[in-house]
A and B are shown apart, each in its own frame.
Chain A
Amino acid sequence: MIRRYKYIYNALLCGAGVLGLLSFQSCTKLDEEVFSEVLEKDFKPSERDLPFIVSPVYASFRSLMFGWQGYFDLQEESADHIITPVRPNGWDDGGTYRRMHQHTWNAVQWQPYNTWQQAYSSITKANMVIMQIEEKSLPLPDEVAQAAIAELRAARALAYYLLLDNHGNVPIVTDYRNVALPNQKTRKEVYDFVVKELDEIIPLLSHDVAPMYGRMNVWAAKTLLAKVYLNAEVYTGIAQWDKVIAVTDEIIQSNAFRLDNEYKNIFSAVNESSPEIIFSVPYDEVYGHGNQLHMKTLSPLSRLVYSMSAGPWGGNCAVPQFIDTYDPDDQRFYDSWVQGAQYNATTGVEVINYVKEVPGIGGDGTIASDNAGFRIGKYAIKKGATSNLDNDYPMFRYADVLMMKAEALLRLGRENEAALLVSEVRARSFKSNPEKAIVTGIDLLKGSVYNYGWQEKDGTIKGENGGADIKFGRFLDELGWEFAAEARRRQDIIRFNVFQKKSWFNHRPHENAQTRILFPIPNDERNKNPNLKQNPGY
């Protein structure tokens, strides 16, 4: 028996020996070797790296604006210009476009959530870079640091403005290190925050125009401030028309910008050269993907018209009632919408004829044919386009500054001064008939020519109540013609009470319309952060 135990003893000894041998450091070392990522400890940034570090703050605006079911859809499909009807190749998508049109969205609707996510992505990245600069992990000379922080705060204010406008009651986070669940602020508090931020940084921001293209300079910040004041009554209940005039005057008097002679140049593939653009979200076919408006709007057949290297999806189009408001001499009608017969670029054969009429949004079995509705053509589609356009999105442009001032003047009873500005903006669009460019103060006091009402399948308008009763309706029409398909119609028609009161196409005023002015706080975010209370009415 003793012998056997000895065997075991030997065996264990041998085993232990082997294990002991292996307990050396190298045999238990588990550090990760990293090849395709940059480790924080290996990256020693300097001023040279600033562009790389700042650019993600702006990158979010690309997917925010023209991304799939992004901000563009959020602003346009909830308003009276653009719809995505059910078509032979689909576009029911669980009713999401119908809900946008009929204001029946709820807290799981994707479009508002997408805006939330992208806006906060930009905010958090801005917070991160501000922290890196302040903590000197990104060491910069003092002047550079100050300018960079001011710019980042301006970009962050822009993102907060989008949240202020769409979701209203949102949390304000400015400290990257603090990952505690943030508290919700009221819409008024968010408004105050944005105004205060802009007031503080405007003196520190760059006055450069061309070098700061696509970035927040002082003019972009001032235009943003004017926008916030323009909508102050909606946001806070207190109008700030005088402040709109004051800020817009500063921009106008700077002579840094002027109206482009050609309306379509503002939206062309090389629109970065337009003298009118104050702030844009740059897109590029190669570097800055995301402008896919043409993909969503064009019929697959239009591929042949533009010799495209991608097949468009064939979705959204203009509301016929809006198309009916245009003056046929208004060049913007032709520059904004793809309409009528379209011809094959190589053979010259007609491939599709876009008609104005659209039978309905769908959901009731109505299917809009492939050629139903005029398509968004404002952002000129070049021959040989890929699925990404080069055209930058002009978020703030000089015409808007003039129109903001005009609106403030109009609302303060200075309609004749307003009319001068409106006429100035119209002038380039009525070159064939310059007299039509002139509007008077009396014109601006009229109602809208938009024939508001429910559209039947055959195109007749039922229960029509028109637009004559809309206060300053004519001015709203001017905004519509000038800024069609510029991802802003929702905000404008809220200010003119159309969003809440009017029917158009297959939309009737929501029974609880006042609550639709704000989108719901996304359910997903409320699930993650119990501090967030839902907006009223959801």
Chain B
Amino acid sequence: MKRVIMLLLLWCNISLSLFAQESLVLKGRVSGPTGEAIVGATLSLEGRKEKSSSGPGGTFSLSYKKGDALHVSSLGYVTYRVVLNGQVSLDIHLQQSSEALDEVVVVGYGTQKKGEVTSSIASVKSEDFTKGAVKDAGQLIQGKVAGLRISTPSGDPGESTQVSLRGLNSINGSQDPLVIIDGIPGDLSTVAPEDIESVDVLKDGSAAAIYGTRATAGVILVTTRRNTATESRTTIEYNGYASLQTLFRKPEMMGAGDYRRLIADGIPYQDLGSETDWVDEVTRNPLSHNHNISLFGGNSRTNFTGSINYRNWEGIFLKSGQERLNIRANLNHDMFDGKLKTNVQLISRNTKSNNGGSSPYMWRQAIIRNPTDQIYNENGKWQERDAYFYDNPLGMIYETIDDNIFRETRLSGSLDYRPIKGLSLKMLLSRVQNNDLSGNATTFDHINTTKNNLNGTASRNTRSSVQNLTELTANYTATFDNHKIDVLGGYSWQDDTFDQFYAYNFDFPTDDYTYNKLEAGMALQRGLAEMTSYKENRKLIGFFARLSYNYKEKYMVLASIRREGSSTFGANNKWGSFPAISLGWDIAKEDFVKDITAFNQLKLRAGFGVTGTIASASYMSQTSYNFERVQGAYINGRWVPGFVPTRNFNPDLRWERKNEYNVGLDFSLFDNRVYGSFDYYTRRVKDLLYQFNVPSPPYLYSSMMLNAGEMSNMGFEALVNVNALRKGDFKWKTGLTVATNKNKLINLSNKQFDVTVPFFEAGYTGEPIQMSTHRVEVGRPVGDFYVWKTVGVDDNGKWLVENQEGKTIPISEATLDDRQYYGNGIPDVNVGWNNNFNYKQVDFSFSFRGSFGHQVLNMSRMYYENPINKAYNVLKTAYDPVYGKTLTNDLVYVSHYIENADFMKLDNVTLGYTFKPNTIKGIQKFRVYASGLNLLTITGYKGLDPEAASYRGDFTFAPGIEHRDRYPTTRTFTMGLNVTF
């Protein structure tokens, strides 16, 4: 009854207004917080059908009747509402909407209002991205998503960031999150950072389960920039920058002077009569530049977004670098009164590099080379020496040709049919093709020939892949009374084919051909050339459904299921089901707290979801054989290849399954001034795919791929944003992310084998120490170092270590059983602190990032802080006493070199100035900025960079090694400008 009266009153009101008022014209301008024009903002009057949008310069004009309520909205801004009382002009300033509960979050196969989200999803919009010379999408959100650890362990321009979400969750499966670019799988460098509108991260199982088997490591949804205007709009944007890199920290090796001083003291170094700073010789301070042009155009029915991005990044090593051209075109067209929406998108990515011989191993050679040696010998050739693993690094750089071309084309199209309000039937088709072609050659002046008599080497390697994707989805949304319901159903079919070909030859009559005439090498005839080819295919098919419901945005529930099958698993276990459910309750909307105005939102969330991890390779469940040369023998007077089983067969191979519980709180307080979220999760991965050691005999191979383990991760994540100052000319927004993670390997066992593997060793020191560095043991976290613990040095300069009984013994008596756990390479806590300031036209931002509670093996000290080997250069600190004694021990892997690596980094500082609109005629926005990346590190760690430890590949289970052979990290200074026409 009450409602009826309300409706009646409302009707009366409107009717009265209609009759009472005459039409007025309102002119004005829509702008953002810093005064920049907002083009394409939607303007509508409450209760009217027609809409208009702001044109060039943000200007608009519309007619209204007194008392009308005007709504102004634009993506990324808070919708502005004003009741018009006879004004004829109005300047509208929209507030950016990152704090708004109305903000839209991408959830996979759709979007949700932030206020309705019931799972753990982090969303980062473009205005909060890291500024400056950013490598890829990962670096854009570094330190901005709690629980997502992003590191850049290498300074190589061609290397991408390393991302891990909520700890380590697989042993043999992929550790990388699934990255979806506008609905299609890709990676963090598929599109240029400048082309990205927002990055959303599905963190917990209940959010990610809709992506089923690929979701355990999390899902990162990248949305590219789109023309969102509903009216005619043509805008051109130019973003450009130039940047300069310097070594983050230079290793302090002994110089020629140090050598001569030590020789005078009777230490048998060799004085070769010259003076060379090898690290300086192989590095430079490279200048890089990046240009991005984006074009937005079209009208309400047809619009276009295009961008061209050219980037030329030079690396800190001589000759290293990468040139990249990304082109994107996105076309939208509406038909039949908006009932059919079509979209075509083309993304083309081309990278090219001509790297020479700058490699991590080259870096080692620069570091260990005698500083009294010369670069060239008396004949003008590279000065080489006959020592073991000891080569002129400049010869390596200049006498190696290492070229690579990567081309990718992503073509996608979609049809979205909306026969009735709220219903959308969508078909998405896409094809991603790429080709990676490398050529490598060494000249006659390379050590391959000068030392090893190979007479030039050359190889080509090509890899290509094709991915076809078809997705059909049906989505129905309805709102009635206080109920909102959203139903999704869908089907997904994905087919991936991968091809590879490689050929290598040597013994060439000339080095002029480089890699362009492989057949000219004679090693092929001598049987010493190499060749490989390979092809692989995999299919992934999924059916999925999702239901979300909320009542008054107070009580919310979301449930989803994906039934998915992969060709990579055993015949009996191809299919798996991945359900999820999550609930939300916004306490702030309850009557009993309504009066506490401080609460804008106080949403409790709880979710449970099951996800899987895709197998890292196809065919692991196949019963198959191969002809292998290494398995061949001399039979009947000739060599034949051997025919052997490819693996110990396991047709029962199945999915890894992760169950995750997540509870969280989203809050927004004091008129949305303080907002953020807290999350606690506990996840447990079962049926871990593991290369399980099986007894041999009776098995042929001593390991086989089995579902044989369990691992758990738990942690707490917090994100707190504060709009400390948001009124007036001076604005300050600050945000803090904190994430903890605790990992534990629960067991490694399989029912088929009545044994539990207690541990496995991981990591490798390399030559000449040749020991494993880590041990992964059941009941302990991944990442533990396993090492002889040093407690002193004896009078002869030899290490004293602690044996298993805790007694001090000389290292020469230590056995492998005397090693013990000593520290862990994975941080317990990761922190990010981001700040944005605005004062009138000036913007300033800085961010800190830190990791705490972890250790790093300083390999440089292990190899170069020991004076034992006079054939190689060492750190200046090598002759410093250790435990008061001078070290005379052989190079060994001991705990002395494992250091606390807690650090806090001043990661990104940007200072910008935006000119007032139309300061220059025809230019809507003009901003210049200067930015720095990786500027300062506060740490007790003695190496070059505590963050320069890889967590991928060989280091997945041996995290926290700052390797001696690496591409050192850099500090980057950038100057740039953004212009909008």
Partner of B624, one of A37, A89, A95, A211: A37
**Contacts A303-B452, A528-B694 hold; do A40 and B625 have CB atoms under 8 A apart?**
yes
CB within 8 Å of A: which of B547-574? 565-568, 574
Residue of B nearest to A39 (CB): B624
Measured between C-beta atoms, what is the minimum distance from A533 to chain B in Å? 14
B interface, CB within 8 angstroms of A: 386-389, 419-423, 425, 451-454, 472, 474, 476, 478, 480, 485, 487, 489, 491, 493, 526-528, 533-539, 541, 543, 565-568, 574-575, 618-619, 622-637, 639-646, 693-702, 753-755, 757-758, 767-771, 796-798, 812, 814-817, 868-871, 888-893
Q: How many residues of A contact B (CB 8 A)?
A: 107
Chain A 91-102 near chain B by CB (<8 Å), digits 1 or 0: 111111011000
The answer to whether A288 and B487 touch across the interface, beta carbons within 8 angstroms, is no
CB within 8 Å of B: which of A23-47? 27-41, 43
The answer to whether A303 and B451 touch across the interface, beta carbons within 8 angstroms, is yes
Partner of B698, one of A39, A179, A384, A524: A179
12 more contacts with CB within 8 A, not counting A37-B626, A94-B769, are A8-B476, A32-B568, A36-B626, A52-B640, A56-B632, A56-B642, A57-B633, A90-B769, A179-B698, A213-B634, A214-B633, A309-B453
Instruction: Give the complex CA separation of A386 and B523 in angstroms.
Output: 12
**Contacts A12-B487, A18-B489, A528-B694 hold; do A37 and B625 have CB atoms under 8 A apart?**
yes
**Contacts A182-B695, A286-B527 hold; do A313 and B423 have CB atoms under 8 A apart?**
no
The answer to whether A92 and B491 touch across the interface, beta carbons within 8 angstroms, is no
Measured between C-beta atoms, what is the minimum distance from A161 to chain B in Å? 16
The answer to whether A528 and B698 touch across the interface, beta carbons within 8 angstroms, is no
Instruction: Give the complex CA separation of A108 and B772 in angstroms.
Output: 13
The answer to whether A307 and B890 touch across the interface, beta carbons within 8 angstroms, is no
**Contacts A11-B487, A92-B768, A309-B453 hold; do A364 and B535 have CB atoms under 8 A apart?**
no
Within 8 Å of chain B (Cβ to Cβ): is A86? yes
CB within 8 Å of B: which of A387-422? none
Instruction: Give the complex CA separation of A527 and B754 in angstroms.
Output: 10
Closest 9 CB pairs of A and B: A90-B768, A286-B527, A287-B639, A11-B476, A55-B633, A89-B388, A56-B642, A35-B535, A58-B633
Measured between C-beta atoms, what is the minimum distance from A324 to chain B in Å? 27
Partner of A93, one of B645, B757, B768, B870: B768
Instruction: Give the complex CA separation of A27 and B814 in angstroms.
Output: 61
Measured between C-beta atoms, what is the minimum distance from A315 to chain B in Å? 10
Within 8 Å of chain B (Cβ to Cβ): is A51? yes
Partner of A15, one of B474, B527, B643, B702: B474
Partner of B622, one of A7, A34, A51, A362: A34
Residue of B nearest to A94 (CB): B771
CB within 8 Å of B: which of A277-311? 282, 284-289, 300-301, 303-304, 307-311
Within 8 Å of chain B (Cβ to Cβ): is A117? yes
Measured between C-beta atoms, what is the minimum distance from B526 to chain A in Å? 7
Some 8 contacts from A to B, beta carbons below 8 A apart, are: A7-B423, A15-B487, A40-B624, A59-B633, A94-B892, A182-B697, A286-B527, A300-B387
For B478, list chain A residues within 8 Å (CB).
4, 7-8
Instruction: Give the complex CA separation of A213 and B639 in angstroms.
Output: 12
Instruction: Give the complex CA separation of A351 and B422 in angstroms.
Output: 85
Instruction: Give the complex CA separation of A489 and B387 in angstroms.
Output: 32
The answer to whether B633 and A181 touch across the interface, beta carbons within 8 angstroms, is no
Within 8 Å of chain B (Cβ to Cβ): is A513? no
A interface, CB within 8 angstroms of B: 1, 4, 7-8, 10-12, 14-16, 18-19, 22, 27-41, 43, 49, 51-59, 62, 86, 88-96, 98-99, 104, 106, 108, 117, 120-121, 123-125, 128, 171, 173, 176, 178-182, 210-211, 213-215, 282, 284-289, 300-301, 303-304, 307-311, 313-314, 351, 362-365, 367, 384, 386, 524-525, 527-530
For A128, list chain B residues within 8 Å (CB).
645, 700
For A106, list chain B residues within 8 Å (CB).
815-817
Instruction: Give the complex CA separation of A94 and B537 in angstroms.
Output: 43
The answer to whether B491 and A365 touch across the interface, beta carbons within 8 angstroms, is no
Instruction: Give the complex CA separation of A426 and B628 in angstroms.
Output: 42
For A40, list chain B residues within 8 Å (CB).
623-625
Partner of B574, one of A30, A39, A363, A528: A30
Partner of A88, one of B565, B641, B816, B871: B871
The answer to whether B770 and A93 touch across the interface, beta carbons within 8 angstroms, is yes
Most buried by B among A55, A171, A213, A363: A55
Partner of A362, one of B386, B489, B817, B890: B890
For B574, list chain A residues within 8 Å (CB).
30
Instruction: Give the complex CA separation of A180 and B694 in angstroms.
Output: 11
**Contacts A14-B423, A308-B452, A365-B796 hold; do A288 and B632 have CB atoms under 8 A apart?**
yes
**Contacts A289-B630, A365-B889 hold; do A94 and B770 have CB atoms under 8 A apart?**
yes
**Contacts A32-B622, A89-B768, A351-B386 hold; do A19 and B489 have CB atoms under 8 A apart?**
yes
Instruction: Give the complex CA separation of A95 and B622 in angstroms.
Output: 41
The answer to whether A27 and B536 touch across the interface, beta carbons within 8 angstroms, is no
Instruction: Give the complex CA separation of A301 and B406 in angstroms.
Output: 41
Partner of B891, one of A90, A125, A210, A313: A90
For A36, list chain B residues within 8 Å (CB).
533-536, 626
For B817, list chain A residues within 8 Å (CB).
106, 108
For B892, list chain A residues within 8 Å (CB).
92, 94
For A124, list chain B residues within 8 Å (CB).
696-700
The answer to whether A52 and B697 touch across the interface, beta carbons within 8 angstroms, is no
For B624, list chain A residues within 8 Å (CB).
34, 37-40
The answer to whether B643 and A49 touch across the interface, beta carbons within 8 angstroms, is yes
**Contacts A180-B698, A304-B386, A530-B754 hold; do A18 and B472 have CB atoms under 8 A apart?**
yes
The answer to whether A51 and B636 touch across the interface, beta carbons within 8 angstroms, is yes
Measured between C-beta atoms, what is the minimum distance from A168 to chain B in Å? 16
Instruction: Give the complex CA separation of A381 and B698 in angstroms.
Output: 39
Residue of A nearest to B627 (CB): A52
Partner of A37, one of B538, B634, B646, B698: B646
Instruction: Give the complex CA separation of A12 and B626 in angstroms.
Output: 50
